[in-house]
């Protein structure tokens, strides 16, 4: 049996430091933001596992926001989100890149502008949500394609991520990911075919 007598031990041991609790320092508690996770792939449409995980998280009670920048066709937009599992808000662009072939977009200025404006509206909504602190997880699907198409500026995304307020994770997906954003990530997952 061992009997501890630390008060006696500390008096006889010169290596023990007594801590004065009279002058306590009041430590400020900071809210920690969740991680930035990047899922990259060499081809589009390789992220069903992320959508599956978002459904699982929502079913477990986490508030999840899933934004698909380049998907559309269901006339959603910011004003018509789809709600699933009570906690998953799924928003697609009201006028998206995937609804048309690239030649049609390039040949039609009005169509190109409409897609640009719709994607930008979605991005502005995302920026507010990243600052609100109301979601446990935010997924920005194919945001890097919107950057590649020069709809969203890379520095705007970086600044928004640096100043986000979310307790959970932000998940970004895409194919051609700028190095600056890879360096910000806490986790990078490469999906292969």
Residue-range domain boundaries for the chain: 34-191
Q: What number is the average pLDDT over the span 152-165?
A: 92
What is the sign, positive or negative, of the torsion defined by CA atoms of 159, 162, 163, 167? Answer: positive
Q: What pLDDT does residue 99 have?
A: 67
d(CA 83, CA 43): 28
Q: What number is the average pLDDT over the span 128-153?
A: 91
φ, ψ for residue 50 (rounded to 5)?
A: -70, -40
Mean confidence (pLDDT) of the chain: 79
Does residue 172 contact residue 38 with C-beta atoms inside 8 Å?
Answer: yes
With 70 as the cut, is the pLDDT of residue 114 above it? yes
At 130, list the tokens.
Answer: 């990243």
53 burial level (CB within 10 Å; 0-12, 13-18, 19+) = middle
> SS3 for 173?
strand
Closest CA to 139 of 72, 50, 34: 50
Q: What is the CATH number of domain 34-191?
A: 3.40.50.300
With 70 as the cut, is the pLDDT of residue 37 above it? yes
Instruction: Read off the pTM.
Output: 0.76
- Sorting pLDDT into bands at 50, 70 and 90, what band is 73? low
At 115, list the tokens.
Answer: 């897609």
- Sorting pLDDT into bands at 50, 70 and 90, what band is 102? confident
Provide the terminal-to-terminal Cα distance of the chain, rounded to the nearest Å: 61
Is 122 or 41 the better-scoring residue by pLDDT?
122
With 60 as the cut, is the pLDDT of residue 94 above it? yes
With 70 as the cut, is the pLDDT of residue 12 above it? no
- Sorting pLDDT into bands at 50, 70 and 90, what band is 85? confident
In angstroms, the Cα distances linking 156 to 39, 71, 78, 143, 160 are 20, 21, 20, 12, 6
d(CA 95, CA 111): 9
Is 41 or 154 the better-scoring residue by pLDDT?
154
């Amino acid at each position: 049996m061992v009997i501890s007598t630390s008060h006696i031990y500390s008096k006889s041991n010169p290596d023990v430091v007594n801590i004065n609790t009279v002058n306590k320092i009041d430590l400020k508690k900071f809210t920690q933001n969740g991680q930035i996770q990047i899922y990259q792939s060499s081809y589009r449409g390789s992220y069903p596992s992320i959508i599956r995980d978002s459904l699982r998280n929502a079913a477990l009670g986490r508030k999840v926001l899933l934004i698909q920048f380049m998907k559309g066709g269901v006339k959603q937009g910011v004003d018509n989100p789809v709600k699933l599992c009570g906690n998953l808000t799924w928003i697609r662009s009201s006028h998206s890149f995937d609804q048309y072939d690239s030649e049609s977009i390039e040949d039609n200025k009005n169509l190109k502008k409409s897609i640009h404006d719709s994607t930008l509206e979605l991005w502005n909504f995302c920026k507010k949500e990243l600052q609100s602190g109301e979601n446990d997880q935010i997924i920005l699907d194919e945001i890097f394609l919107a950057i590649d198409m020069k709809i969203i500026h890379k520095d705007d995304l970086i600044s928004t991520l640096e100043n986000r307020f979310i307790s959970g994770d932000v998940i970004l997906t895409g194919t051609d990911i700028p190095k600056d954003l890879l360096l910000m990530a806490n986790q990078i997952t490469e999906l292969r075919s």
